[in-house]
Amino acid sequence: MSVTDFSNLSRSKPEKRLVLAMKRRSGRDDRGQISIRHRGGGEKRKFRIIGSSEAKLGQKAKVEQIEYDPFRTAFITLVKFEDADKMYLLAWEGIRVGETIKADEKTEIKPGNRMRMANIPTGIEIFDIEIKPSHGGKFARSAGSSAAIVAKEGDWVHLKMPSGEIRRLPSKSYATIGQVSNISHSAQRFGKAGRLRHMGIRPTVRGKAMHPGAHPHGGGEGVNPIGLKHPKTPWGKPALGVRTRKKGKYSDKMIIQRRKK
């Protein structure tokens, strides 16, 4: 019986995983109860891990390809850094395969470059904005969105959000220059019900078409109005135009000017 020789096997570091398999839950929680309605079916999808280029400060990265991501409205891009590591990033408007980008504390004002907001001039479009330094991008990440710095005050910057709200954020937080890709997403038409079913979205039924035990708008003979002064959710809470933000939230002190109703 011969002994297998493992001495010739490669001991190089395995490539970092960029894609994960995802199991569908069809809108159900850990108890198997439906917690999100109108979910189920659809095509199998894999989850792309979106990184942040400030993890490779000072290194240039080359855009290798632009891809569709089934879990988000914007496109994503696969970039390769100088140390040969690859990473998925949010794609920006006007991106081109072959161009280079860089993340540093201060770098060139160019779409795709990432730097601290303290070093970004006022009025420049930015996206993928950190709420706190080293916490990763949280604001302006959906298709076509962007924000802009309107003022600087000590260790803080005043940021005009996509909603019109003006918010105060630490100037040491990172942001990416430019606007998120796929700006025409809001004008997209699905065309047929089957396309939504492929996306895992099931049909939505009007509340007034249900029986009264299933929805506050339900019941009555024939076609009737809802019979209420204000519309309600299926669980009896006020809907449409009612503010749902928690009063006295910890981040209220960061809001300088509220968004328009």
DSSP 104-115: -SS----TT-EE
Domain boundaries, the chain: 19-182, 206-261
The rounded distance, in Å, linking the Cα atoms of 92 and 187 is 18
Confidence of residue 112 (pLDDT cuts 50, 70, 90): very high
pLDDT digits (tens, 9 = 90+) for 195-224: 999 999 999 999 999 999 999 999 999 899
Rounded to two decimals, the pTM is 0.84
Mean pLDDT, rounded, for 46-62: 92
Mean pLDDT, rounded, for 169-181: 96
User: 3-state DSSP call for residue 208?
Assistant: helix
Mean pLDDT, rounded, for 179-184: 95
User: 3-state DSSP call for residue 143?
Assistant: coil
Q: Which residue has the tokens 């005009």?
A: 160
Mean pLDDT of the chain: 90
**CA 211 from centre of chain:** 37
- What is the CATH class of 19-182? mainly beta
DSSP 47-105: EE-B--GGGGTT-EEEEEEEE--TTSSS-EEEEEETTS-EEEEE-BTT--TT-EEEB-S
- What is the CATH class of 206-261? few secondary structures
Confidence of residue 17 (pLDDT cuts 50, 70, 90): confident
